[in-house]
Structures are given as C-alpha cells and as structure tokens.
C-alpha cells in the first residue's frame, strides 16, 4: 500500500481516498496498484457492502495521471508508461465490473484519471466545485481511461465536443449530460458519507434526499449548435463548419481547436466512433491501451508536455502541423494491434 492512497473500512462501507494533494491527487502506478489490491480484498469481504471513492486533504478530486513520468518514459523505451496504462486500465475495468455499489464524489477537479475512477461507478456525485474535463488534446495525448466508451454515449455530439476542445464543464452540466447521477452541496458530503457507511443498502435514497436543484446547465443551451457544428467524424469537416458558422461561439471554439494537436484530434474522433460500436468495456480498454502505447512515444505527446507542463510556453510545435497532414495511414499505425504478449488484458479471477 502507498500513503498516497488511503484505504479504510468505516461501518459497512470501504473507502478509497486519494491523498496526493500537491499533485491534485493525480494517479501514479503505485496508487492504482493499491486501489486494485483493496478492491479485490473488499470484493470478498462480506462486511463491506459498498465502496466510496473521494479525495483526502486539499483540493480534489483527481487531476489526472502522472504526465511527467509518462513523458519521461515515452522519451526512452516507454516501458514505465505502458506499465502505468496497463495498471490504470485494469483498475478502470475492475470498477466498471464491480458487483458491489460504488460511489464517486467528484468534488473538485475531475480530469483524465479522475474521470476513469468516477465514471465506472454506479453513483457519481457532482457538487458546485466539480470541474470535469478531458483536456488531453492540448498535450498530444487522447481521452483515454474509457473516454472512447463514455464520451461516445453522451447526448448528441457533446462527447466529440468535449474530447476535441477539452472544455471544462461544471457539476450542473455533468448532471445534465448524465456524467453525474446526483448534485449535492459540498458541505453535505461528510454527512452523506456517514449515512451511507451506516446503511449502504439505502445509498440511492440517501443521495436523493441530499440532492438539490442545480444551477442552469450552460451546455444545454448550446446543444443544438454543438450537434450541428460537431456532426462529422471527419476533423476537417468540423473545422470548416465552425469557420463557416462565423458566430462568436464558433469563433471561440475554432480558436481553441487551432491550439490542439491535429493528430490527437483525429485520434479522438476515430476513438469515439469506434467506441460507440463496442459492446464490451474490456475491448474498449484494449484498444485504448494500444493507442496509449503508441502515442506516448510520438512527437506530439512529448512536445505537448514540454510546452504545457515543463516549459509552460504554451506554444507546442505539432508534427504533423495540420489536420490535412495527418494521414489515415498514421491513424491506422496508432490503432494497430501490439504483439500478442504485449496486449492489455483485464484481471482474471
């Protein structure tokens, strides 16, 4: 176990608490390994009737994964990056298939790896502090941890919009899109957790009672525009539609997309189109692992991390530099199967 992940049993509920406050609780391999170990133990423990997932001290919930480590590994042989993805995706799949009810408290930043922890849970609690995003196109990565599955199943084309732009949405918007199941004020969370620990069989009623009417969800006012302008699975078509529309909203989103990795944007659209057709979450994670294993060693990820996280000049030099230069052959290479002994596999019991 690692002290960056706190595991306890309180009453009839077990708790996973992310405890890496200086990194906004970003996940590393050891945290994922500890979470898997705890979940497997609790799965067999009849005294545990539910699992609660939240963060400990400081701001939260979870800002993502250990991006610097991934880039450092990607610049060499990529083995540590693959190990992280393999372990994290096994954790994601374990939560997705977990028989006991799970509750994620998305109180604060919920991005990347935090999305992978929360969206598999049966109950997903947003608050006024929730800031949800999949911002990977800005660093040359892609919306992984099941992003191809979850985002492709959102209303209309909102998943494609979120994947490409990396837009941050709040708790009310998460509820409106179905990313969250409940909206609960943050100052009520500790009481909610205590009540669930005392009576896990009443989780639904406890969360319903604690829920309040959220503010207006801003994104709902833009759904028609999003569906129209992000309608295509061809990235060039989306850019052309935004340019032709000419509204302030379209101009703003077009400007945003111009800063993103063209390679990653095309990967994201292809991932969501493929993810929408998947019928088994394990198959989705196997595809995403292939993509992650390839992308983490490519120029755009290393350059994106340099520009956004290391040097912070926010001036990445993408290569290929334009969407037109990202060929179908390149996308096929990124999605290509690995050697049989290198493919991702779920945990076996």
Any idea which residues carry the catalytic annotation?
A: 65, 113, 136, 144
Q: Which two tokens stand for residue 259?
A: 């800063």
Q: How far apart are CA 97 and CA 188, in angstroms?
A: 29
190: Cβ contacts below 8 Å, ≥ 6 apart? none
Query: Which tokens go with 119?
Result: 């969206």
Q: DSSP per residue over 318-341, as a string?
A: -SS-SGGGS-HHHHHHHT----GG
The two tokens of residue 56 are 């400990």
Q: Count how many Cα atoms sit within 13 Å of the Cα of residue 279 in the half-sphere of its side chain.
A: 0
Query: Which residues fall within 8 angstroms of residue 109, CB to CB, at 6 or more apart?
Result: 24, 59, 60, 61, 62, 63, 131
Bridge partners (DSSP) of residue 124 are 104
Cβ contacts of 23 within 8 Å, gap of 6 or more: 63, 66
Three-class SS state of 296: coil
At a CB cut-off of 8 Å and minimum separation 6, what does 246 contact?
none
CA separation for the pair 95, 169 (Å, rounded): 24
Q: Name every residue whose Cβ is closer than 8 Å to that of residue 279 and which is 6 or more positions away in sequence.
A: none
How many residues belong to the chain? 349
Looking up tokens 């298939």 gives: 97
Q: In what order do the strands lie in the sheet with 123-126?
A: 5-10, 13-18, 50-55, 102-106, 123-126, 182-183
Q: How remote is the C-alpha of 100 from its chain's centroid?
A: 22
Six-digit token pair at 43? 């799965």
DSSP 156: T
Other CB atoms within 10 A of residue 339 CB:
6
Cis peptide bond N-terminal to 71, omega within 30: no
């Amino acid at each position: 176990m690692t002290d960056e992940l706190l595991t306890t049993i309180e009453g009839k509920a077990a708790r996973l608490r992310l405890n890496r406050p200086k990194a906004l609780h970003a996940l590393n391999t050891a945290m994922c390994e500890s979470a898997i170990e705890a979940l497997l133990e609790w799965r067999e423990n009849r005294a545990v009737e539910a699992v609660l997932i939240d963060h400990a001290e400081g701001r939260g919930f979870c800002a993502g994964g250990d991006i610097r480590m991934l880039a450092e590994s990607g610049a060499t042989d990529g083995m540590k990056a693959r190990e992280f993805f393999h372990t994290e995706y096994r954790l994601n799949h374990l939560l997705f298939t977990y028989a006991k009810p799970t509750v994620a408290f998305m109180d604060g930043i919920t991005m990347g790896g935090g999305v992978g922890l929360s969206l598999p849970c049966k109950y997903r609690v947003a608050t006024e502090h929730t800031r949800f995003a999949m911002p990977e196109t800005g660093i040359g990565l892609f919306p992984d941890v099941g992003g191809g599955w979850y985002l492709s199943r959102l209303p209309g084309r909102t998943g494609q919009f979120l994947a490409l732009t990396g837009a941050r949405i709040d708790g009310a918007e998460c509820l409106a899109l179905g990313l969250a199941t409940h909206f609960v004020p943050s100052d009520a969370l500790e009481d909610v957790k205590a009540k669930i620990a005392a009576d896990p069989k009443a989780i639904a009623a406890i969360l319903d009672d604690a829920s309040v009417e959220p503010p207006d969800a801003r994104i709902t006012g833009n759904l028609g525009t999003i569906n129209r302008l992000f309608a295509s699975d061809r990235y060039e078509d989306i850019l052309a539609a935004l340019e032709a529309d000419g509204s302030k909203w379209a101009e703003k989103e077009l400007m945003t997309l111009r800063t993103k990795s063209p390679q990653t944007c095309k990967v994201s659209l292809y991932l969501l189109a493929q993810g929408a057709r998947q019928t088994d979450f394990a198959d989705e994670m196997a595809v995403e692992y292939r993509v992650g294993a390839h992308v983490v060693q490519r120029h755009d990820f290393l350059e994106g991390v340099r520009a956004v996280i290391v040097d912070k000049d926010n001036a990445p030099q993408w290569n290929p530099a334009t969407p037109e230069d990202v060929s179908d052959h390149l996308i096929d290479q990124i999605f290509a199967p690995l050697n049989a002994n290198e493919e991702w596999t779920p945990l076996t019991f």
